[in-house]
Amino acid sequence: MSDKNVFVVGLDELNRKRLEHLRGAENYRFHGVIEPSEVYDTEIFPIEDMLSRAETQLNEFHDSIDAIVGYMDFPVSTMLPLLCERFGTRSTSLESLLKCEHKYWSRCVQREVIGDYIPRFTAFDPFDSEALHKIGEEGLYFPFFVKPIKSSGSRLGFRIESPEDFEQAISRLCEDIGTISEPFNFVLDHAKLPDDVRAIDGGHCMAEEIIGGWQCTVEGYVFQGEVIPYGVVDSIRYPQVLSFFYYRYPSRLPDHIQEKMRELTRQVMKHIGYDNAAFNIEYFWDEVQDRIWLLEINTRIAQSHCDLFEKVDGVSHQQITVDLALGQLPDMPYRKGDFKVAAKFFYRVFFVDATMSRVPTEEEIDALEQAFPGTVITLQAEIGTRLSSLPEQDSYSFALAYIWMGADDDTSLEENYARLAEQLHFEFEEIIG
C-alpha cells in the first residue's frame, strides 16, 4: 500500500508529534501548508494571499494529494473547503461550514430546529450610531453579550451591563473588527448565501441574551450523513470572571444532560447538512432552571482537547480529522489511555497590561514535566513580550502558559496543578493593574 499524503495547514512541531502517534500513521506522510506563525501567532489574516500560496505549493507537489486538513479556527477552518474543492479532496461544503461559522446565519438555522435551546439574538452594525436603540427594539435589554459575526477564540467578546459598557465595547469593535471582517468577507464572496444573510457581512456584530451555567463542549463528526458525538469536555472558568481556568475530560455532567446534548447535536448538524468533517458544539447547562443552551458551533476539533483524548482514550482526536479527510470511518479508541481524567489548564494573569521580564527556563519546564509524568507545558510569552501584543486572548486576562495534565481522579488532578503552578516563575515590569 502506497503512503497517503496528508497536508496540514499551519502544521507545527507539537501537532506533528501528535499526528505521528495516530493509528495508521506509519502509512501517512504529513506535509505542512502555510507556516504555523501565519495562523497561530498573528491577528492579521491575508487569506487571499494565503490561499494563493497554498495552491502554488500544492500544484508543485508531484505525488497524490490525498487529504488537506487543519485544526485551527479562522482563517484555517474557512480556507479548507476552498482548498479541498480545488484539489478534489474531502471536506464539508463551504455553505454548510458557514451555517456554523457565520454567527447570525448559524443562529437562524438553529432556530429552525432547536429554537427552545438558543438565546434571543439580533445582528447590528457597530458603526451605526443607533445600534443600541435598535438592539432594544429587538427585545434585548441589559445585560447582554456582544461579539463579531465572525470571531476567533474569545476575542472582541464583551458582556454589556450599561450604555457605558456598550460604548467602550463599540470603540474596540470599530477599531479592530476589520482584521477579521475583511478576510471573512472574501470567503463569503465565494459562497451561495441567502439575501438576508449576505446583508449581514463580516463587519456586523451579534447581540445575544446572556446565557450561562455549566459549560461544556460536545466533540463530534459526520461520516456519510451520520452524526456521531463521541466525547464531552467540561470548560471550567475562574471564579467571577469569563476567563477559562481549565478544560476537563471526561465530563462530569449528569448522564441524561449529556445524552440530551448529543440528541440536540444530531438534530442541528443533520439540519445544517454538514458532512464528512469534524466539529464541536459548545453548550451550557443552567442547573437552576434545568435548561440547556447552545452557545456556538465550531467547524473543527478543539485543538486544546487533543492531549486530553490522548491521555484518556489513547490517541489524539486528530484521528477523526485525518480519517474523515481520507474517506475512512474514524478509528478512535475509547478509554485506552494512561489516565482516567485529563485537563488543559490556563495559567493566567489578570492585568490590564505589563511587559514580561522573566519566564520559566527550558530546564525549569523540563524538571516540572518530569516531576508530573504525562505533563506538557507550553509558554505563550517570552522575555520582553508586551502582554497586550499576545494573540487570541480574551478581553479580561492573559494566558501565559498552557499545561496539559492527567491523573486518576479530579482531586489529584487539581492538586497536582496547584503544586505545579506554584513553581512556574514569571516576572513583570510596567504593570498596569
- Residue 305 phi, psi (nearest 5): -95, -5
Pairwise CA distance, residues 202 & 150, whole Å:
6
Q: Give 423 or 1, the one with higher predicted confidence.
A: 423
User: What does the pLDDT read at residue 154?
Assistant: 65
Give 374-429 pLDDT, tens digit per residue.
Answer: 999 999 999 999 999 888 787 789 999 999 999 999 999 999 999 999 999 999 99
Contact between 265 and 220 under an 8 Å Cβ cutoff? The reply is: yes
Write out pLDDT tens, residues 263-280. Answer: 999 999 999 999 999 999
Q: How far apart are CA 191 and CA 13, in angstroms?
A: 33
In the predicted structure, residue 193 carries a pLDDT above the cut 90: yes
Q: How far is CA 329 from CA 43, 214, 277, 332, in A?
A: 35, 32, 11, 9
pLDDT of residue 201: 97
Higher pLDDT, 25 or 74: 25
Mean pLDDT calculated for residue range 190-198: 96
CA distance 311 to 241: 28
The residue that leads in pLDDT, 82 or 240, is 82
Say which CATH architecture domain 214-432 belongs to. 2-Layer Sandwich (3.30)
Calpha distance 159→394 (Å, rounded)? 12
**CATH 3.30.1490.20 for the 120-209 domain, yes or no:** yes
Strands, sheet with 205-209, edge to edge from the N-terminal-most edge strand? 121-124, 205-209, 144-148, 158-160
Dump pLDDT digits (tens) for 243-260: 899 999 999 999 999 999
**What is the structure's pLDDT at 378?**
95
Q: Which amino acid, 214?
A: W
Determine the Cα–Cα distance for residues 279 and 259; give it in Å rounded to an integer: 17
Q: Is 355 exposed, middle or buried (0-12, 13-18, 19+ CB in 10 A)?
A: middle
Distance of CA 55 to the CA centre of its chain: 25
| Res 59: pLDDT | 97
> What pTM value is reported for the model?
0.94
Amino acid identity of residue 120, one-letter, is R
pLDDT at 153: 62
Retrieve residue 186's grid coordinates: 472574501
Sheet-wide strand order for 398-407? 291-298, 277-286, 214-223, 226-237, 244-249, 341-349, 398-407, 376-379
59 Cβ contact list (under 8 Å, min separation 6): none
The yes-or-no verdict on residue 75 having pLDDT over 90 is no
Contact between 352 and 417 (Cβ < 8 Å): no
What integer best gives the mean pLDDT of the chain? 95
Residues 393 and 381 sit within 8 Å (Cβ to Cβ): no
For position 2, what pLDDT does the model report? 80
Tell me the pLDDT tens digit for each residue of 4-63. 999 999 999 989 999 999 999 999 999 999 999 888 766 778 999 999 999 999 999 999
Cα–Cα distance, 297 to 134 (Å, whole number): 26
Q: What is the pLDDT of residues 161-187, one digit of tens each?
A: 999 999 999 999 999 999 889 999 999
Grid cell in block for residue 414: 487539581
Q: Give the other-Cβ count within 10 Å of 310's Cβ.
A: 27
Q: Which three cell numbers stand for residue 314?
A: 489513547
Q: What digits encode the pLDDT tens for the residues 119-144?
A: 999 999 999 999 999 999 999 999 99
Three-state SS annotation for the chain: CCCEEEEEECCCHHHHHHHCCCCCHHHEEEEEECCCHHHHCCCCCCHHHHHHHHHHHHHCCCCCCCEEECCCCCCHHHHHHHHHHHHCCCCCCHHHHHHHHCHHHHHHHHHHHHHHHCCCEEEECCCCCCHHHHHHHCCCCCCEEEEECCCCCCCCCEEECCHHHHHHHHHHHHHHCHHHHHHHHHHHCCCCCCHHHHCCCCCCEEEEECCCCEEEEEEEEEECCEEEEEEEEEEEECCCCCCEEEEEECCCCCHHHHHHHHHHHHHHHHHHCCCCEEEEEEEEEECCCCEEEEEEEECCCCHHHHHHHHHHHCCCCHHHHHHHHCCCCCCCCCCCCCCCEEEEEEEEECCCEEEEEECCCHHHHHHHHHHCCCCEEEECCCCCCEHHHCCCCCCCCEEEEEEEEEECCHHHHHHHHHHHHHCCCCEEEEEEC
- Is residue 64 pLDDT above 80, yes or no? yes
Length of the chain equals 433
CA–CA distance, 146 with 9 (Å, rounded to integer): 30
- Sketch the domain layout of the chain as residue ranges: 4-96, 120-209, 214-432
- Alpha-carbon distance of 313 to 372, in angstroms, equals 19
The 10s digit of each residue's pLDDT in 309-347 is: 999 999 999 999 999 999 999 999 999 999 999 999 999
Question: Which CATH number does 4-96 carry?
Answer: 3.40.50.20
Q: Is the peptide bond before 373 cis (omega within 30 degrees of 0)?
A: no
Q: How confident is the model at residue 430 (pLDDT cuts 50, 70, 90)?
A: confident
Residue 1 has pLDDT above 90, yes or no: no
